[in-house]
Amino acid sequence: MRTMANRIEELPPYLFAEVDKIKQDALNRGVDIIDLGVGDPDLPPPKAVIDRLIEGTGEKGSHNYPSYSGLPGLRQAFAQWFEGRFGVSLDPDSEVLPLIGSKEGIGHIFLGHMDPGDEVLIPDPGYPVYAAGAILAGAVPRYFPLRKDNNFLPRIDELEELVSPKTRMLWLNYPSNPTTAVASLEFFEEISRFAAERGILICQDMAYSEITFNGRKAVSLLQAPGGKDTGIEFHSLSKTFCMTGWRVGFAAGKAEAITALAKVKTNLDSGIFIPIQKAATTALLNCQKEAKEILETFEARQKMFVTGLNDIGWKVPMPEATFYVWAPVTEGYDSMSFCTYLMEETGIVCTPGVGFGSHGEGFVRMSLTISDDRLKEALKRIKKLKTKWVFK
Q: Do 208 and 81 share a structural domain? A: yes
* Structural domain harbouring 315: 6-44+289-385
Q: Do 282 and 366 share a structural domain? A: no
* Sequence-distant (≥ 6) Cβ neighbours of residue 141 within 8 angstroms: 119, 120, 122, 130, 131, 134, 135
Which of 252, 272, 287 is a domain's end point? 287
Q: Report the CATH number that the domain containing residue 298 is assigned in CATH.
A: 3.90.1150.10
- pLDDT, position 25: 83
Q: Domains in the chain: how many in total? A: 2
* Domain-embedded: residue 390: no
Q: Do 164 and 83 share a structural domain? A: yes
From CA 284, how far away is CA 310, in angstroms rounded?
Answer: 37
- pLDDT, position 390: 59
Q: Do 168 and 22 share a structural domain? A: no
* Sequence-distant (≥ 6) Cβ neighbours of residue 316 within 8 angstroms: 306, 309, 310, 325, 327, 328
Q: Do 157 and 38 share a structural domain? A: no
- pLDDT, position 388: 60
* Domain-embedded: residue 281: yes
Q: Do 224 and 84 share a structural domain? A: yes
* Domain-embedded: residue 272: yes
- pLDDT, position 335: 92
From CA 200, how far away is CA 171, in angstroms rounded?
Answer: 10
* Domain-embedded: residue 363: yes
Q: Pick the closest to residue 203 from 252, 155, 242 (CA basis).
A: 252
- pLDDT, position 2: 74
Question: Chunked in runs of 10, what are the mean pLDDT values of the chain (392 residues)?
Answer: 84 73 83 92 97 98 95 98 98 98 97 97 97 96 97 97 98 98 98 97 98 97 96 98 98 98 96 98 98 98 97 94 96 89 92 95 97 97 75 54
Q: Do 278 and 157 share a structural domain? A: yes
Q: Do 300 and 274 share a structural domain? A: no
Q: Pick the closest to residue 326 from 120, 335, 79 (CA basis).
A: 335
- Cα dist. 129→100, 355, 365 in Å? 15, 12, 17
